[in-house]
Amino acid sequence: MDNSKRAMILGTGRAIPEKILTNADLEKMVDTNDAWIVERSGIRTRHIVEPGTALSSLAAEAAKKALEDANLAATDIDLIILATVTGDMKFPATACFVQTLIGADNAAAFDISAACSGFIYGLQMADSLIRSGTHRHILLIGGEILTSMVDWEDRNTCVLFGDGAGAVVLGPSQQERGILSTHIGADGTHSGLLYNLGCGSINPPTVENVREKLHTMRMEGREVFRHAVVCMSKAMKKALKLSGMAIEDLDLVISHQANLRIIEALGKRLKLTDEQTYVNVDRYGNTSAASIPIALDEARREGRLSEGNLIGLVTFGAGFTWGSSIIRL
Ligand SMILES: CC(C)(COP(=O)(O)OP(=O)(O)OC[C@H]1O[C@@H](n2cnc3c(N)ncnc32)[C@H](O)[C@@H]1OP(=O)(O)O)[C@@H](O)C(=O)NCCC(=O)NCCS
């Protein structure tokens, strides 16, 4: 493969809703408390949208910032990939609404569904399309309004999730920079551990189904936790092997921000130092497909990352799905 054409990140952006939901707020909604949430998940606050907010508006805000950072116009983009499981509506694809909102008149647009792994799935797709030469500038967005499918009476899940969007603009690489490797995988035998049963073809949204809350998410937290640590550890090692790099070469690892204990257990398995580990789950909770691009943008803008740094991205989500990537910024 011609490495001179590998994709590189040209710009990043994020959109975070203003409204903050604290653990103290949740104490008034369900039988929980700040100490339990912090101890078991590390989450202190999460940002949430006003009910009825369109995901496309968050995604477009993140996209505009990424385009500005990349010094490109929206009309320079020839493809928009949006990773989400909480799009504006069932169809058309939310990426099409984003196209209109930002004025990316020359772009094709579609959504992908791989839950919390959606951004890395999209990254591999974008890298392959840029390497093949069919596309030059791709806007990849991970965005979720997970609070639209949270059961606010279920303490097992409602304390964990938040809303947001992160975006990257990708283009052909210069010199040694760019995506050195990507790896994605799935194991559908565990689909019953984390899912949203309602609103699909099996259970269309009837009054009865909604009354039974089939439109909200369900999770076997403890099992998901166990698989997340093992799968992300394997996935990170796979991406490192594909790139010819070692753990010690990485300046920063951004793993999916679902739970501080998962991030710490992964760090232990991979023997990561604190300096190599990025954490913002305490402020945002789990934002699913948005979690990695939000963290990436935050790390760049706060000076934790700069040009030439080597980063590892790794994620895990419903399906199960997982993915990893090694990138020279
Ligand atoms: C959900 C999670 C935080 C729960 O932590 P845990 O240590 O596994 O806790 P358990 O599920 O064993 O629950 C322990 C107890 O706390 C209770 N509990 C659950 N949520 C609670 C809450 N918000 N407040 C207080 N108690 C709670 C449970 O009911 C259980 O009580 P019981 O022992 O009387 O039945 C953790 O399993 C997790 O983060 N899992 C992965 C979630 C995830 O990342 N999902 C997305 C992946 S992409």
Query: Using a 6 Å cutoff on CB, does residue 77 contact ligand 1?
Result: no
Taking the centre of ligand 1 as the mean of its atom positions, its distance from the CA of residue 101, in whole angstroms, is 39
Q: Residue 281 pLDDT more than 50?
A: yes
Rounded mean pLDDT of 318-325? 98
- Could you report the per-residue pLDDT of 46-105, keeping only the tens digit for each? 999 999 999 999 999 999 999 999 999 999 999 999 999 999 999 999 999 999 999 999
Q: What's residue 199's pLDDT?
A: 82
Shared-domain flag, residues 39 and 101: yes
Burial of 219 (C-beta count, 10 Å sphere; 0-12/13-18/19+): middle
CB burial of 128-148 (b: ≥16 within 10 Å; e: otherwise) equals: bbbbeeebebbbbbbbbbbbb
Shared-domain flag, residues 239 and 307: yes
Query: Using a 6 Å cutoff on CB, does residue 286 contact ligand 1?
Result: yes
Query: Quick count: other Cβ atoms within 10 Å of Cβ 85?
Result: 21
Q: Do 56 and 73 meet the contact criterion of CB atoms below 8 Å apart?
A: no
Name 92's Cβ contacts closer than 8 Å, sequence gap at least 6: none
Residues that are catalytic? 116, 256, 286
Rounded mean pLDDT of 164-182? 95
Rounded mean pLDDT of 108-123? 98
Shared-domain flag, residues 231 and 161: no
Shared-domain flag, residues 146 and 196: no
What gap in Å lies between CA 259 and CA 161, rounded to an integer?
10
CATH code, domain carrying 80: 3.40.47.10
The model carries a pTM of 0.97
Q: Do 166 and 178 meet the contact criterion of CB atoms below 8 Å apart?
A: no
Q: Of the candidates 114, 146, 173, which is a domain's last residue?
A: 173
313 is in which domain, residue-wise? Answer: 180-328
Q: Residue 202 pLDDT more than 50?
A: yes
Average model confidence (pLDDT) across the chain: 96
Shared-domain flag, residues 120 and 204: no
Q: What's residue 4's pLDDT?
A: 53
Strands 178-186 and 194-196: unpaired
Taking the centre of ligand 1 as the mean of its atom positions, its distance from the CA of residue 4, in whole angstroms, is 46
- Could you report the per-residue pLDDT of 148-162, keeping only the tens digit for each? 999 999 999 999 999
Taking the centre of ligand 1 as the mean of its atom positions, its distance from the CA of residue 36, in whole angstroms, is 9
Shared-domain flag, residues 17 and 156: yes
CA 74 to chain centre: 22
Shared-domain flag, residues 26 and 154: yes
Q: Residue 116 pLDDT more than 60?
A: yes
Shared-domain flag, residues 125 and 203: no
Shared-domain flag, residues 142 and 220: no
Q: Which two tokens stand for residue 320?
A: 């199960």
Q: Do 314 and 76 meet the contact criterion of CB atoms below 8 Å apart?
A: no
